[in-house]
Amino acid sequence: MTNAITIEHVNKVYDGKVTALKDVSFNVEEGEVFGLVGPDGAGKSTLFNILTTLLLPDSGKISLLGMDVINEYKSVRQIIGYLPGVFSLYPDLSVEENLQFFAVMYKSSIEENMELIRPIWKQISPFSDRKAGKLSGGMKQKLALCCALIHCPKILFLDEPTTGVDPVSRKEFWDILKSIRTQGITVVVSTPYMDEATRCDRIAMIQEGQILGINTPSAFIRDFQGKLYTFRSENIFSLLNIMERCPLRCNYYPYGEHCHIAFYDDVATALPQFEQFLQEQGQSHGEIIAIDPSVEDCFIEIVQMRNALNQPQP
């Protein structure tokens, strides 16, 4: 496999005080769907802006298909497509006019690359006369994707493309990304939604500007260290309060309407001890059930372990 993207020791600090990226290094292979997963403020957009030649790093080296993003930025711009996190089309132009505009800007034409966008275009073409600003969130993103693809880029960057998009459109959008991959286009996509991460070939977990780990979603799940359980609690807030007193080696957190708990001791003894602890604390709860971890559970575990390592020793 050859690398489509090589990132070496990239750092970025805003205004001399906000560290957005700290010594970021990784490679993306050609033809991969590569995910950048992390919460708001993790540094995802900063990295995207640097990768797409819109922002200079303070230090480090990045090459896209062998081209340096700083010294060869003009050539780099020819081979990338970018769907930024904020809606960036022209709201007063129609759907078709927007697409036309982006095609002409890249000295291409809609006809030339129609094959590439046909499955997505089929869904939005019934609205081709509608102003882009009047489309639904999901449709806007599909149009933005068409515009980012219309010059047939070799690498496509998508910054949180499904944020604020309804669940059905989110699923459709990911189906489209998978089909783009089969055209040999490398896709780099960021998302705060951990469930979407499982649809990537590999993911980089990022927090506070640092890469916490890079692997396939299934490898992250395989490497989960704890034994994970879920249960319902009648009062999740009082539960979280009493958990501070829990004597077991465990990691707990609310997960939707449930609480997840990962045990790091022998679970045959830890589980009954935990049930006894809840009883003593007067906490009523539903059945405590063993579950497989999700990518989100893995992310939380990795963050907790890192925090524990960084704690000063007593």
Give the interface with ligand ADP as residue ranges (CB under 6 A).
14-15, 18, 20, 38, 40-46
Q: Tokens 């589980």 — which residue?
A: 271
For ligand ADP, which is the closer residue by CB, 162 or 251?
Answer: 162
For ligand ADP, which is the closer residue by CB, 12 or 202?
Answer: 12
How is 281-307 classified by DSSP, letter by letter? Answer: TT--B---EE----HHHHHHHHHHHHH
Question: What's the rounded Cα separation, in Å, for the pair 219 and 295?
Answer: 10
> What is the sign of the dihedral through the CA atoms of 194, 195, 196 and 199?
positive
* Shortest Å, Cβ 63 to ligand ADP: 21
163, 10 in Cβ contact below 8 A? Answer: no
* Shortest Å, Cβ 198 to ligand ADP: 19
* Shortest Å, Cβ 108 to ligand ADP: 29
For ligand ADP, which is the closer residue by CB, 83 or 239?
Answer: 83
The number of beta carbons lying within 10 Å of the beta carbon of residue 118 is 11
How is 174-238 classified by DSSP, letter by letter? Answer: HHHHHHHHTTT-EEEEEES-HHHHTTSSEEEEEETTEEEEEE-HHHHHHT--SEEEEEEBS-HHH
Q: Tokens 């879920």 — which residue?
A: 230
* Shortest Å, Cβ 80 to ligand ADP: 18
For ligand ADP, which is the closer residue by CB, 200 or 270?
Answer: 200
* Shortest Å, Cβ 270 to ligand ADP: 35
* Shortest Å, Cβ 60 to ligand ADP: 15
For ligand ADP, which is the closer residue by CB, 46 or 169?
Answer: 46
115 three-state secondary structure? helix
